[in-house]
Amino acid sequence: MQAVGLITEYNPLHNGHRYHLQRAQQLTGADCVVVVMSGNWLQRGEPAILDKWTRAKLALANGADLVIELPVFFAAQPAHLFARGGIELLSALNCTSVVFGAEHPELDFQRLTAAIAANQGDFSHYNATYATQFNSALQAATGVTLTAANDMLSFCYYTANQALAHPMRLVPIKRQQADHATTAIATGSSYASGTAVRQAAFDQNWGSLKSVVPTDTLTALTTQRLQRWADFWPFLQYQLLTVDIAHSGQYDQMAEGLEYRMQTMAQRATSFDDFIHQVKSKRYTYTRLQRVATAALLQLTQAEVQAAQAHNYLRVLGFTPKGQAYLHQVKKQLPLPLYTKINQKLRQHALNLDYRAGRVYQLINGQSQDLYRQPWQLPAIIG
């Protein structure tokens, strides 16, 4: 069996994602579709609208065969680290190809990767965004800038893939949906941006969602509690006001001096949105600030995140019979640890950060996210 890999968030899974799943198998002829999916905390530094178990089950019901969790120490990171974590996991699972959406799939990402490789410096300075540093280097090397979110992510996939001993085949496809920033669902459209889908769900505008999400996604949105930053604001505010400033300065992605600004604004702010707007300056993007806020809420320090990134692992969230067969095929050759459930020992050591992230999410969600949870086992999808 051969597998094609996808790196996803499914926040929540909509028709554009279902198209991606179907198209990936069509383009590659793969026997198995492997999905690496962010857990309960996402790349833009926000909680997932639905928990990881619900989103994994939706993925399996709409074309995925095997769903692996992208650990929080890669999921809530800038594009280059998010991409690196996902590519590492798909490579470990012996996927032969990776299919991903891009705004401009016709771009020669391979050429851009090669052109910037010799000039690429250290893009980890948190006093400037990764995108700013990256585009400065890319512009100098090629005359090209990448402003669209998924084009940037596509470049990062190519860069991470080239670092592998045995690179996979990368296949960019045109995104079948509106731009990420689009907040409205167009009348009569079958596709909408994730932003628009979430906004409609929070507004309980179920009629507009019917045409742009699968039926099971709509059912999940209408029957489960939906998470957003506002739910976690009291916990974040408490952390920022009570943790010693010397410790908060060690949070992952924290820039020098930002910890003082965040603590001051936490005293004044009346909501999470108010807090982020008060902390915002030209120096920081909203996404960057949300990721720092996530690190503060989850008490993730830069040292422990970087240590964890050197020890990636495969956490199974679910599979179909085909996915189970593929996992059995590659299991003995896996270069990374494989986990199907978290026990007391794992939660204290190897999977500590994901367990911590799940426990905080559980404060609002109310459902156990990790301890002794078993992967979904769904029947094969017909048609």
Q: Show Cβ contacts of residue 30 under 8 Å, excluding neighbours closer than 6 positions.
A: 2, 3, 4, 24, 96, 97
DSSP class of 213: S
Was 150 annotated as part of a binding site?
yes
In the numeric block, the tokens 């179907």 are attached to 22
**Whether 99 contacts 4, CB under 8 Å:** yes
Was 9 annotated as part of a binding site?
yes
Was 101 annotated as part of a binding site?
yes
Was 12 annotated as part of a binding site?
yes
How many CB atoms are closer than 10 A to CB 174?
12
Among 351, 349, 342, which Cα is nearest to 371's? Answer: 342
Was 46 annotated as part of a binding site?
no
Q: Residue 70's beta-bridge partner residues?
A: 38
How far apart CA 128 and CA 125 sit, in angstroms, is: 6
Was 175 annotated as part of a binding site?
yes
Was 355 annotated as part of a binding site?
no
Q: Is 225 helix (H, G, I), strand (E, B) or coil?
A: coil
Strand segments, DSSP code E, in 39-179 are 66-70, 97-102, 169-174
Q: Output the CA angle 30-319-29, nearest 5 degrees.
A: 5
Was 8 annotated as part of a binding site?
yes
Phi/psi-derived region of residue 235, left when phi > 0, alpha when psi is between -120 and 50, beta in every other case: alpha
Strands 66-70 and 314-319 turn out to be: antiparallel
Annotated binding site: 7-20, 101, 150, 175
Annotated binding site for ATP: 7-20, 101, 150, 175
